[in-house]
Structure 1
Amino acid sequence: MKIREQLSDKLLDTTCKKCMLDIEIYKQRALAYSHMEGAICVLSDMQENKSYIYKSAAAAELGISMRDNPAEIDSIWEEEMLGKIHPDDRLKKYIHELRFFKLLDGMEMNQRAAYSVVSKIRIKNKNEEYCWVKHRMFYIYSPDNGRLRLAFCLYNIALNLSVASDFMIINTIKGEIVVKDKLDYGNILSPREMEVLKFVGEGYASKEIAGLLSISVNTVNRHRQNILEKLKVKNSVQAFKDSFY
C-alpha cells in the first residue's frame, strides 16, 4: 500500500460517533494566521474529508491561484500545493506525518497538544524554481470520540539558507526535538539505489519499479541486494523503515 493511502486510512474518521467541535472557530483561526504570518493555511477536516485553504500574498509567489480565497476542496489533500513539492520531500513529508500520527496516537489526549511537525521543504515558485518553504502542522483531536478531527498546516516562504530538507517533530512546551529525520543514506547509497529504496517503501514490487525506472527486473534486484549489503539489514523494506521511522 502506498504511503499516502496508509495516511488516508489512518487520518479519515469513519467512526459513527461524530465530533462536535465548531469548525467555524477553526476557520477563523486559519484566516487570522494567514494574515498575521503571511502564510498559506490549510485546515483539513478528517470527519468531512474536506480542506479549507486560506492564502496570503505568499501564494502568488509560489504560483498558486488567488482566485478562490478561501478555497474549499472535497479532500484532505491540497493537491495544488502538494504537486509543487519536490518529489523526494513530498514522500518524506507523507512518511513523517504518518510517524507523527503514530506517535500521538500512543499518547494520552491531554499530552497531544504539545507536539507539532516542523519541516523545511522545497516547493516550486511562480518561476518554476524550487525555493525553501517552512511547513508546520498541528493535530486537533475530538473531545467527543478521541479521534483526530483537524489538521492545521502553515506554509511560509523561508530564508534560503538550507542545504538539505529538514523534518522534525517537536515538543513546543519544552522546546525539545522529539524525532528528527534519520534519512542520511545519500552519502552511502547511489542516486539510483535511493530511488529503488523509496519505491520499495511505497510498496512497489521489483517488476513495477523496473517499469517506473525503465530498467530490467534483474537490475532492480541487483540494486536491492546492494542496498542490503551497504546498510547491513536483512531486507530492503527494513532498510526503508530504518531510514524513516
Structure 2
Amino acid sequence: MKPTNITREEMWARQHLSIHDIDYAAWERDKAMLHQMAKVNQSCTFVVDVYKSKYVYASSNFADLLGYDSNKIATLERQGDYLESRFHPDDFDQLVDLQIKLGQFIYSLPVEQRNDYCNIYSFRVRNAKQQYVRVTNRLQVLEQGLSGKAWLILGNMSISPDQKNSEQVDCTVLNLRNGELFSPALLSSPTIHLTKRETEIFHLIQKGLLSKEIANKLQISIHTVNIHRQNLLHKLEVQNSIEAINKGIELGLLK
C-alpha cells in the first residue's frame, strides 16, 4: 500500500456520516446490553463512534484487569484518547499505520462489502503492576448508519494466552462472511494507470473547476474534458467526482 500522511481521524471522516444517517436510540440500547455483558464477560469492551471520531464507551474491566482509572473509564467520552495512553508507544505507532492501511483497503471495496471484516490485533498494554502484557483486540462494526456506512466500531480486548516477547504488532483480518483470514502484509493498492491528461484534469477537478473552466484552461473542448472525466470515474470505480477525489487521495493519486 502506498505510504500516506493521512490520519485515522481523516480516514474516519471519509465515511461522510450525517446526523440524519444515525440513530442514537440504537446506541443507548447497545450500551445497556454492553453494561450487562460486562458483568459476566472478563474481556475489556469498548466502542468508537466514527461520526464523533472518539471513544464513547469502555467496560469496567479495563480498570479491573489492566489498571485503568475507573473514573476515567466511566467518563471515557470526555477523556479523549485515554484508552491508548497505556498502549506501548512503539506498538501504538504500528497500530496506527496498520489501521490506516486497513482503512484504505476497506474503502477500496464496494460499499456493500465494507462492513464484512473483523481486524484482530496483538500488542502490548501496561497493566496495574506497570508491566507490559500482550493483549488480543478484535475490532468490527457494531452499528451501521441508515446508508450502510460503518458508524459504531466494537472493540473486544483480552489478555493474550501467548505472552511472547515481541516488539511486533500482529494483525490478522477475518472475513466474517466466509471465514477467510489474511494478513495486511498481503494488501496492495489496486493498479490504476492514469494518462498525463487524465492526471492533469483530475487535479483540476480536485480544485473545484467545472468542465467548462477546465476546457478553457487546457484549451480543449468540453466534450474532451467530459470523456476524460468519465474515464476517471470508470478507472476508479466510483459514481461521482467527490467519490473520485476521496479515492484518489486514498490511493495516493492526489494529495
TM-score bucket (shorter structure):
0.5 to 0.7
The amino acid that maps onto 2:8 is L
The total of aligned residue pairs comes to 179
Q: Is the 8 A contact 2:58 2:76 kept in 1?
A: no
Q: Is the 8 A contact 2:112 2:148 kept in 1?
A: no
1:120 aligns with 2:122: yes
Q: Is the 8 A contact 2:98 2:184 kept in 1?
A: no
Q: Is the 8 A contact 2:135 2:158 kept in 1?
A: yes
| Alpha-carbon distance, 1:97 to partner | 1.4
Correspondence for 1:185: none
Q: Is the 8 A contact 1:136 1:154 kept in 2?
A: yes
| Alpha-carbon distance, 1:17 to partner | 6.0
Correspondence for 1:10: 11
Correspondence for 1:157: 159
Q: Is the 8 A contact 2:141 2:153 kept in 1?
A: yes
Correspondence for 1:110: 112
Unaligned runs of 5+ in 2: 187-255
Question: Paired residue for 2:44, among 40, 47, 65?
Answer: 40
Distance between the aligned counterparts of 1:31 and 1:94, measured in 2?
A: 28
Q: Is the 8 A contact 1:113 1:139 kept in 2?
A: yes
Q: Match of 2:70, SS?
A: coil
Correspondence for 2:232: none
Correspondence for 1:169: 173
Distance between the aligned counterparts of 1:158 and 1:59, measured in 2?
A: 17
Change in 2 beyond 3 A, CA 1:88/1:41: same
Change in 2 beyond 3 A, CA 1:150/1:158: same
Q: Is the 8 A contact 2:38 2:61 kept in 1?
A: no
**Residue deviations 1:10-30 (CA, integer Å, cap 9, x gap):** 213655563233221332343
Change in 2 beyond 3 A, CA 1:26/1:95: farther
Distance between the aligned counterparts of 1:162 and 1:106, measured in 2?
A: 34
Correspondence for 1:73: 77
The amino acid that maps onto 1:166 is D
Question: Paired residue for 1:25, among 29, 34, 41?
Answer: 29
Change in 2 beyond 3 A, CA 1:28/1:17: closer
Correspondence for 1:139: 141
Question: Paired residue for 1:100, among 93, 99, 102?
Answer: 102
Change in 2 beyond 3 A, CA 1:86/1:137: same
Distance between the aligned counterparts of 1:121 and 1:4, measured in 2?
A: 23
| Alpha-carbon distance, 1:109 to partner | 3.6
Q: Is the 8 A contact 1:118 1:136 kept in 2?
A: yes
Q: Match of 2:183, SS?
A: strand
| Alpha-carbon distance, 1:74 to partner | 4.1
Distance between the aligned counterparts of 2:85 and 2:76, measured in 1?
A: 17
Distance between the aligned counterparts of 1:173 and 1:132, measured in 2?
A: 28
Q: Match of 1:67, SS?
A: helix
Distance between the aligned counterparts of 1:46 and 1:105, measured in 2?
A: 14
Unaligned runs of 5+ in 1: 183-245
Q: Is the 8 A contact 1:167 1:181 kept in 2?
A: no
Identity %: 15
Correspondence for 1:84: 86
Q: Is the 8 A contact 2:65 2:127 kept in 1?
A: yes
Distance between the aligned counterparts of 1:50 and 1:135, measured in 2?
A: 17
